[in-house]
Amino acid sequence: ELDAALVAIHGTGLNMRGDIVASRSWPLGAIAEDLRRVASQTPMTAKEFTRINRAFGELHADALEAVCSDAGVQPDLAVLHGQTVFHAPPLSWQLIDPWPTATRLRCRVRYDLRSANIASGGQGAPITPLADFMLFASPDEPCIVVNLGGFVNATLLPRRCDSIDLIRGYDICACNHVLDHLARTRLHAAFDRDGMAASAGQCDEGICARIENAIQPSPTSHARPRSLGTGDEAIRIIEMTSHLRAEDACRTAVEAIARCIARTLCSETNASAPTPHSIPLLIAGGSARNRALHTALTSHWNGPVRTTNESHGIPVGMREAAAMAILGACADDGVRYTLPSVTGARSVVMESALIENGNTNFPDFRAV
């Protein structure tokens, strides 16, 4: 699905906050298989690349037009991340044609959000930690935002009153790339809805250890953050679980991912793995709906584990959409949204590409 959110931005610069006014998840339809083909490096003609790029851009315009129409709002800025079909810095491609959105919404459009940082010597990922700080940082205690998307990425947030220089963020391991591949090949479904199959399975400890070893991050220094982008682990993991029942394969993969997350975060928060830490985890992304994964995380982390919907009223599927709106508004305000402590380099030019347009007189609803 394509997640679109209409976000009201209040304030400017580092003092801004965002409230979701309306949101919608839009089915990808046939374009989903096209995007998988591109991401898997399937050879195709320039015409095919161009067709997929345009179709994906039209789909964005459809979704944004619908969410704005439903809310009765004309936005003055749209922010498009696109689909990451390749990421191995210094090479990265977030596929999207922004022009259908610009022409149909008649608003300014920001896109290509990572290239400036990569060209400046950074990893170009993760890019959401500053937005996480604005959306989720607590005045009272640190917390960790864990996005359970194609990859697991984590943002370690200081208190809201602390310096943004204390924010840390990195990718941890593959998540939906693995779980959805398992669902397609073993359950013959797009994904394991609510983790029902995994909840009905048993964990194979031997295979679980092998999967965790395959997906766990290699040691990195803070000067060179970890940035992932292929999901090649999925194919290897499918092969590891081939002799297991489908439900057991799903449960084993979920357990391995949860253990990898907990172990990595324990290490990063100076706890002695596998002893869990008490810092709250706020989970978002598609697999935050996977009850088996939520349960596994809770069992390996003795602090509270809550969804972003439970903690801040932001639906788990809309965290990234809301974050993109924040990043676009930051760029409008002249704030570089990538953090050197996260991506490894400071962007030397203003970030994101911009299509100018005429409708800029709606300050209460500045970004989608």
Biggest CA pair distance of the chain: 60
Query: Do 288 and 312 meet the contact criterion of CB atoms below 8 Å apart?
Result: no
Per-residue pLDDT band for 110 (boundaries 50, 70, 90) equals very high
For 285-318, write each residue's pLDDT tens digit. 999 999 999 999 999 998 899 999 999 999 999 9
Predicted local distance difference test score (pLDDT) of residue 357: 80
Average pLDDT over residues 92-105: 97
Sole residue written with tokens 């609510």: 194
CATH number listed for the domain at residues 2-122+328-335+348-355: 3.30.420.40
Predicted local distance difference test score (pLDDT) of residue 358: 58
For 20-30, write each residue's pLDDT tens digit. 999 999 999 99
Question: Measuring CA to CA, which residue among 230, 290, 239 is closest to residue 261?
Answer: 290
Predicted local distance difference test score (pLDDT) of residue 27: 93
Question: Measuring CA to CA, which residue among 4, 3, 8, 2 is closest to residue 367?
Answer: 8
Q: Which of 209-223, 231-245, 333-347 has the lowest mean pLDDT?
A: 209-223
For 39-79, write each residue's pLDDT tens digit. 989 999 999 999 999 999 999 999 999 999 999 999 999 99
Identify the burial level of 223 via C-beta atoms within 10 angstroms of its C-beta, where 0-12 means exposed, 13-18 middle and 19 or more buried.
exposed
Sole residue written with tokens 């970030």: 351
| 3-state SS, residue 114 | coil
How would you classify the pairing of strands 2-10 and 17-26? antiparallel
pTM: 0.87
Strand partners, 151: 174
Fold of 129-316: Nucleotidyltransferase; domain 5 (3.30.420)
Whole-angstrom Cα Rg for the chain: 20
Q: Provide the residue type at 15 as one letter.
A: N
Q: What is the 3-state secondary structure (H, E, C) of 246-293?
A: HHHHHHHHHHHHHHHHHHHHHHHCCCCCCCCCCCCEEEECHHHHCHHH
Question: Measuring CA to CA, which residue among 331, 328, 338 is closest to residue 121?
Answer: 338
The residue ranges of every structural domain in the chain are 2-122+328-335+348-355, 129-316
Q: Provide the residue type at 52 as one letter.
A: I
Per-residue pLDDT band for 267 (boundaries 50, 70, 90) equals confident
Predicted local distance difference test score (pLDDT) of residue 237: 77
Per-residue pLDDT band for 273 (boundaries 50, 70, 90) equals very low
DSSP string, 198-251: HHTS---HHHHHHHHHHHSPPP--TTS-------THHHHHHHHTTTS-HHHHHH
The answer to whether 2-122+328-335+348-355 and 129-316 have equal CATH topology is: yes
In this structure, the number of other CB atoms found within 10 A of the CB of residue 363 comes to: 10
